[in-house]
Structure formats: C-alpha cells, structure tokens
Amino acid sequence: MDIGFIGLGNMGQPMARRLIEAGHKLVVYDTRNDAVAPLIALGAQTASSPQDVADRVETVMASLPEPHIVAKVATGEGGVIHGKRIKRFVDLSTTGAKAAIDIAAALAKKNIVQVDSPVSGGVGGAVKGTLAVMVSGPTADVAAVKDALAVFGPVFVIGEKPGMGQTMKLANNVLSACNMAASCEAIVLGVKAGLDPKIMIDVMNSSSGRNSATQDKWPKAMLPRTFNLGFATALMTKDVRLALQEMKALDVPHDIMDAVGRAWETCIAELGPGSDFTEIIKPAEKRAGLVVGGK
C-alpha cells in the first residue's frame, strides 16, 4: 500500500519504519531532515510539505505532538487538505474529540475522510509493534487501512463517529496518569516508613495494587532512576488536560482526575515539559525529603 507519513518523532519514526519493513511504500515528511534520513535509507521517498505528501498518495498518516499542529498539517496553508490525491487522513496523534471532530468537518468539505487512530503503548510498543490502536471512522475507510494499522499492534474499532477513538485514548491515558501519580505517593509512603521500594513493587505486582505503573514504569525507569522511557511530561500533561476538558464538557464526575491533573501540573512546573514522564516521582520525593531507588 502507498502511504504518506507525516511526523517522525519518538513515536512516528518507529511506526513508519515498521510500515516499510512490512512492505508498504512510504512518502514521508518531517520538519527535521535528521528524522527523515533513516527512512530514506530504508527506501522511503521524501516530500517537501504535507500538501506534497497528499499530492502523491491516497492515504496519509500523521503522528504529531499537539492538536494545533495536527490542525495546521491537516487543514492549514500547505496542509493535506490541498492535496490532489488524498482520500483519507489517518491521525495517529492524541488531539481530543473536539479537535478531531473539527478537523473531520473541514476535511469533509474536500471529500477527504478522517480516520481517528490514536495509539497507546509508548515508544517501546511502537518499536515492537505492540501498540493498542484505537480506530474510529467510516466502515469502508477503516477497512481500507486496518491491515496497515495492524503493523503497529492490535486494532480496536471503537465506532464510526469522528472523535470516538480520541475519547477512548483519553480515558486510557488519564487512567495511566492516575496510576503513575498514585503509585508515587504510595511508594514514598513506604520508603518514608523504612520499606524497601523494590520489595514494595514486587508485593504490589503480586497482589491487588498492581497496575501499568508498577508493572512497567517502576521496574524499567523509576526504581533504577534512568527516567528514559521516551515520553515527555508535556505530552502526558497535555493528555490529562484534554481528558479533563472532555469530562467537563460532557458533565461527568472528575474529582479524582482533578487531583491527578494537579500532580501533573506540579511535575511540568518543577521539571519542565521536556522531562521524561517517569520523573513524576521527583516532586513527591522533594516534599517527603527522600530519594526512591537507585544504586
């Protein structure tokens, strides 16, 4: 399948690579030449703009960090909306439902279908092809891209309406954010009382406290203090903000997630947007006057 791919960052680069390795022919675009070069070496063709990508293929995928960037790439000057061949825009980013609905409406005026397809599973999942792919869009268009999306991991068809995949992604990510924030306070409690954090994690993972943070983030990056899972605090904070916005717009309870949001706002304020999201332990450590893990 001929596919355009826009956005070759921490997630986009390995996803695009997997498409090439699966036999798909790619036309790629990124603002950074160093991100494009490894894929050109694998046989991809380079484009000069999002519009150029959309001039050359019917299916364009995008993996971008912020909703406003997705909107610009999709519908702005030089965006895919002006392409001559494009039939569908597959958005792998996390934008929230409102942005997805707005972009879908704008593209529809040019007979371009948006397929919502946010993913979850981090950089490791993108490399291994184990991402959860959450798709929403018209049945025929989802069917047209489903095999290609399956290169990234298991595909879950959420529904046909624009934004449904985004809502699923936000529900997942805000729960993941909750697990991380809550586990930090629980581990700091134990360490302050004299417990060994590694033993704490082992116990939690063998009992009712286990979750994605204790099973994955703590052993890989938090206990050894490498903080290197490759997902920025800015991106997790963005996802939490979007989830809270959607909760408020739909008038559903968000008391617990308000507290989670405050934890992530503290993290980004103290450590900066470029910090790894596993560093969320540091503000809790600072307040408790201790350090968890390490040698």
> Rounded CA gap, 86 and 270, in Å?
43
For 276, which DSSP code?
B
- 248 burial (CB, 10 Å; 0-12 / 13-18 / 19+) is exposed
Are the C-beta atoms of 33 and 61 separated by less than 8 Å? no
DSSP, collapsed to helix, strand or coil, labels residue 90 as strand
Are the C-beta atoms of 59 and 88 separated by less than 8 Å? yes
Catalytic status, residue 238: no
Closest CA to 131 of 151, 157, 148: 151
- 129 burial (CB, 10 Å; 0-12 / 13-18 / 19+) is middle
| Candidate list 72, 87, 110, 169, residue with the active-site label | 169
Catalytic residues: 169
